[in-house]
């Protein structure tokens, strides 16, 4: 019976994954063409002469990117964007293979990945977001409070019931809940997974020792869903489920999500303000290439599972026309585009950091 139920919820998740771009279109206007699996080789122009730019990668920022592409194309008719929401791992792979004009990732490329690409790849932070712990526990009033240690113990398989004493000590409303916990994780290479597991590794020695951090890890327990969309679908369809997704996916699908204890002991809800607080507390440590982590940041009001998301671009592309069009879009996204972020539950870049990013964009040399 359980296996049959899991097959049904997997099917529902795949259906949601296919429908998500359409749902995003209804909210924000027509979205760029998206494929859930692969990125196609970019072509330079459409039959009408419009320049086509192809990108692939993170699902974490996809709702905002869909909005950005739509709004930008309305006022810049010469550019058309085709973005495949295939996960950060896929975005890095496509960028390395040079089959896209730009990539997108929530996890910065490692030194090893950069070396494998055989070229310099600029990391352009676009906005900030929150990875949230979503749960499906019917008839449970109030927002749950969770710590990194508790999340680690659940995903390690050490806490298996919602009425475990370690959970009810913080959440008395769970005392009468007899349901088992079904952990849900990303089955694809994922920047969201990188952010979540990096946080767990920072706060839980047991997690660091037994699992570690990465875009893909060996999960001790649970079931996997493809993309933020797939995890959202599985949690929504499975009573007792616990998963992790970007805040927008939780909001748009009306999933409950937890307040998480930060390093100063405060239980903080994920909001644009608490994500901004995490970034503000980390500004002094952000390196010149912007590859950094802001999980488990200092600050009383900082949400502990916050992160940047990046566009990945080649600073010396061969196609000057595409370079000019992509640079124009990025400068717009870092300017007027930032004003669109809060409505979709992303935090704009702090002004000081945005100025640094714009200065770095000057390295984009092809004209």
Question: What span, in angstroms and rounded, lies between the C-alpha atoms of 325 and 33?
Answer: 18
Question: What span, in angstroms and rounded, lies between the C-alpha atoms of 226 and 216?
Answer: 12
Per-residue pLDDT reduced to its tens digit, 23-72: 333 333 333 333 343 344 444 544 456 899 999 999 999 999 999 999 99
Question: What span, in angstroms and rounded, lies between the C-alpha atoms of 332 and 298?
Answer: 31
Q: In the chain, what is the greatest distance between 2 CA atoms, to the nearest angstrom? A: 65
Is residue 53 within 8 Å of 79, Cβ to Cβ? yes
Range list of H helices, the chain: 2-28, 62-75, 88-96, 111-117, 148-155, 165-168, 191-203, 205-210, 227-237, 247-252, 272-282, 320-333, 351-360
Cβ neighbours for 169, distance < 8 A, ≥ 6 positions apart = none
The model's pTM: 0.85
The whole-chain average pLDDT of the chain stands at 88
pLDDT (0 to 100) of residue 50: 80
Strand pairing category for 51-57 and 79-85: parallel
Cβ neighbours for 263, distance < 8 A, ≥ 6 positions apart = 203, 296, 297, 298, 302, 304
Is residue 92 within 8 Å of 105, Cβ to Cβ? yes
Per-residue pLDDT reduced to its tens digit, 91-125: 999 999 999 999 999 999 999 999 999 888 999 99
Encoding tokens for residue 325? 């069009």
Instruction: Kindly report the backbone phi and psi dihedral angles of residue 340, in degrees, each rounded to the nearest multiple of 5, phi listed first.
Output: -85, -10
Question: What span, in angstroms and rounded, lies between the C-alpha atoms of 306 and 263?
Answer: 13
Query: How many residues does this entry show for the chain?
Result: 367
Residue 96's closest CA among 289, 314, 364?
314
Encoding tokens for residue 228? 């933020």
Per-residue pLDDT reduced to its tens digit, 233-267: 999 999 999 999 999 999 999 999 999 999 999 99
Per-residue pLDDT reduced to its tens digit, 274-327: 999 999 999 999 999 999 999 999 999 999 999 999 999 998 888 889 999 999
SS (H, E, C) 116-171: HHCCCCEEEEEEEEEEEEEECCCCCCCCCEECHHHHHHHHCCCCCECCCHHHHCCC
């Amino acid at each position: 019976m359980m296996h049959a139920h899991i097959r049904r919820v997997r099917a529902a998740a795949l259906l949601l994954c296919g429908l998500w771009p359409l749902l995003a279109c209804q909210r924000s206007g027509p979205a760029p063409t998206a494929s859930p699996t692969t990125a196609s080789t970019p072509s330079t122009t459409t039959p009408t002469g419009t320049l086509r730019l192809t990108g692939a990668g993170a699902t974490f920022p996809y709702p905002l990117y869909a909005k950005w592409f739509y709004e930008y194309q309305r006022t810049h008719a010469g550019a058309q964007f085709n973005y495949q929401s295939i996960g950060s791992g896929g975005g890095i792979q496509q960028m390395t293979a040079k089959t896209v004009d730009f990539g997108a990732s929530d996890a910065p490329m490692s030194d090893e990945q950069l070396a494998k690409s055989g070229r310099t790849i600029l990391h352009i932070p676009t906005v900030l977001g929150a990875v949230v712990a979503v749960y499906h526990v019917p008839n449970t009033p109030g927002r749950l409070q969770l710590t990194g240690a508790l999340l680690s113990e659940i995903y390690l398989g050490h806490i298996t019931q919602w009425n475990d004493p370690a959970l009810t000590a913080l959440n008395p409303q769970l005392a009468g809940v007899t349901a088992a916990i079904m952990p849900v994780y990303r089955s694809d290479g994922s920047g969201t997974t990188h952010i979540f597991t990096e946080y767990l590794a920072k706060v839980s020695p047991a997690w660091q020792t037994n699992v570690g951090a990465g875009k893909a890890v060996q999960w001790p327990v649970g079931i996997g869903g493809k993309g933020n969309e797939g995890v959202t679908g599985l949690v929504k369809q499975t009573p007792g489920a616990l998963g992790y997704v970007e805040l927008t996916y939780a909001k748009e699908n009306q999933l409950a999500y937890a307040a998480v204890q930060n390093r100063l002991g405060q239980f903080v809800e994920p909001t644009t303000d608490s994500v901004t607080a995490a970034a503000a507390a980390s500004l002094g440590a952000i390196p010149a290439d912007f590859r950094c982590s802001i999980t488990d940041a200092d600050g009383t009001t900082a949400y502990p599972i916050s992160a940047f998301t990046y566009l990945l671009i080649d600073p010396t592309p061969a196609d000057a026309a595409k370079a000019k069009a992509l640079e124009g879009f990025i400068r717009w996204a870092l300017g007027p585009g930032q004003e669109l972020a809060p409505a979709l539950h992303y935090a704009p870049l702090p002004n000081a950091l945005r100025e640094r990013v714009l200065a770095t964009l000057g390295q984009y040399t092809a004209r």
